[in-house]
A and B are shown apart, each in its own frame.
Chain A
Amino acid sequence: MQPLNEAILIMAVGMITVFFILFLIVLIGDLIIRLSNKYLPEEAVAVKAKKTGTSSDNTMKAIEAAIDVITNGRGKVTNIKKI
């Protein structure tokens, strides 16, 4: 009988704890949402800086120049695949 009583007690403690923690999650989530809506309302929009002279641009220019030389200006780069 003793273990059964203990099991019933564990059930009560367990269910109350689980409900309590998930109830806290609801409260915490709600609080975080309210605070972020008030103080951090919008996501910082990433400003697209105009790319100037990045390494990928330079690579592209080098490939285009090489194709231009090899095909005497008739070739055009449509797709670049890394092998």
Chain B
Amino acid sequence: MEEILSKLYRMTAFGGFSFEVVLMWFIAFVLLYLGIRKKYEPLLLVPIAFGVLLANFPGGGMGIVPAENIALEGHRYKNLFEIASEYGIMNYLYYSLIKTGFLPPIIFMGVGALTDFGPMLRNLKLALFGAAAQIGIFTVLIVSLLLGFNLNEAASLGIIGGADGPTAIYTTIKLAPHLLGPIAIAAYSYMALVPVIIPFVANLLMTKKEFKINMRQMDKLYPPKHKIKNLKVVKIIFPIVLGCVSAIFVPSSVPLLGMLLFGNLIKEIGTSTLRLSEAATGPIMNTATIFLGLTVGATMTADVFLSPKTLGIVVGGFIAFAISIAGGILAVKVYNLFAKKKINPLIGATGLSAVPMASRVANEIALKHDSNNHILQYCMASNISGVIGSAVAAGVLISLLS
């Protein structure tokens, strides 16, 4: 009888309970609450949070094991069948879909098919502010280094400042895969907090007069030199040419940028490739999102996540975000010193990615100060260029550090 009870006890998870495990469940519940109730990026936060839960059920065998466990001699790795049979299906999914860097470009293809380059093409100069807003990535790289992270970890932490989930995940996979869980959580959490962070930084750096700069009035005073006569043709040619040019100058950005531009092209061609763009934005992107979220969450086992580095990532991620926003705002302010046609600095604030939430937030702030000042289209120009900017920054980091 005693033996049966002992076996029964061993069959359950009670023997594996520890303070760390319960703490991880609590973190998972908080993330689920934020995703479900507060609607903070629920499409990703819910799968990530559930992945955390799955990984931390003792005996469940769903936690991701370190890469050393699957490494063989001579820079070789166990095959996927061996990984599946030894460490379970979650490790199979992680090492086939994430570790290979497969899913982030697939998601980028869907993002491309949802992206409209029209606002950027109509306001091309504003694209430059998407570059200024990448300063947070590199500033935090240096700060993290001083805080004790190594170069690869610091670069992965800094890329949170790009405010682009797939880019942050892709860079971390390549440079510091052991930090994937906390970095993904930080990236998506801060993206969800864009409505709080942008007003906070903007209020610190902008004057009331700057909040009221009306872009439409500026356009009337200083109309653009060239109006686009055939937007459809321009939108089709643009991703093809841009894809070629970026591939030549920063080849390491091609997996992300190339897939983004391909997705955009099949959307812009129209009805003849409609089925492809529908697949890219629908079934493919949704499936990729599920597996990305679950597997990234499953990397957050108690022994990996509960370390001082996680706290550093949470703080560093916030600083990266704030500096990127500040970089964009300050770049516009400097531009305004020399230009006749003034630009609302809120447009610079959207130079970090987080499309389209950053633009919507900036537009709402502008409308609060002047109910006729609709700047959404202008913000989208800088916002979309921010996606390209962060992908290029990621490409630079990967090529210099991997």
- Bin chain A's interface residue count: 20 to 34
Name B229's contact: one of A20, A21, A30, A37 (CB within 8 Å). A37
Interface string of B196-235 (1 = CB under 8 A from A): 0000000000000000000000000000001111111110
User: A18-B131, A29-B120 are contacts. A24–B396 as well, Cβ < 8 Å?
Assistant: no
Name A15's contact: one of B131, B230, B242 (CB within 8 Å). B131
Taking a contact as CB atoms under 8 Å apart, the answer to whether B131 and A41 are in contact is no
Name B226's contact: one of A22, A37, A43 (CB within 8 Å). A37
Interface string of A9-26 (1 = CB under 8 A from B): 011011101111111111
With both beta carbons as reference points, the residue of chain B lying nearest to A35 in the complex is identified as: B237
Taking a contact as CB atoms under 8 Å apart, the answer to whether B131 and A22 are in contact is yes
Give the complex CA separation of A36 and B241 in angstroms. 13
In the complex, chain B residues whose CB is within 8 Å of the CB of A22: 127-128, 130-131, 385, 388-389, 392
Taking a contact as CB atoms under 8 Å apart, the answer to whether A4 and B134 are in contact is no
Taking a contact as CB atoms under 8 Å apart, the answer to whether A19 and B238 are in contact is no
**From residue A28, how far is it (CB to closest CB) to chain B in Å?**
5
In the complex, chain A residues whose CB is within 8 Å of the CB of B245: 21, 24, 28
Give the complex CA separation of A25 and B242 in angstroms. 7
User: A18-B392, A21-B250, A22-B385 are contacts. A7–B238 as well, Cβ < 8 Å?
Assistant: no
Taking a contact as CB atoms under 8 Å apart, the answer to whether B226 and A36 are in contact is no
Indicate whether B310 reaches chain A with its CB closer than 8 angstroms: no
Taking a contact as CB atoms under 8 Å apart, the answer to whether A3 and B121 are in contact is no
Taking a contact as CB atoms under 8 Å apart, the answer to whether A14 and B150 are in contact is no
Indicate whether A8 reaches chain B with its CB closer than 8 angstroms: yes
Give the complex CA separation of A30 and B237 in angstroms. 12
Indicate whether B141 reaches chain A with its CB closer than 8 angstroms: yes
Interface string of B137-153 (1 = CB under 8 A from A): 11101100110001100
Give the complex CA separation of A20 and B294 in angstroms. 37
22 intermolecular pairs with C-beta atoms under 8 Å apart? A4-B142, A10-B155, A10-B401, A11-B138, A11-B142, A13-B400, A15-B134, A18-B392, A19-B128, A21-B131, A21-B249, A21-B388, A21-B392, A24-B249, A28-B245, A29-B127, A29-B234, A32-B234, A33-B121, A41-B229, A43-B232, A43-B233
**Which residues of A approach B to under 8 Å, CB–CB?**
3-4, 6-8, 10-11, 13-15, 17-26, 28-30, 32-34, 36-37, 40-43
**Which residues of B approach A to under 8 Å, CB–CB?**
120-121, 124-125, 127-128, 130-132, 134-135, 137-139, 141-142, 145-146, 150-151, 154-155, 226-234, 237-238, 241-242, 245-246, 249-250, 385, 388-389, 392-393, 396-397, 400-401
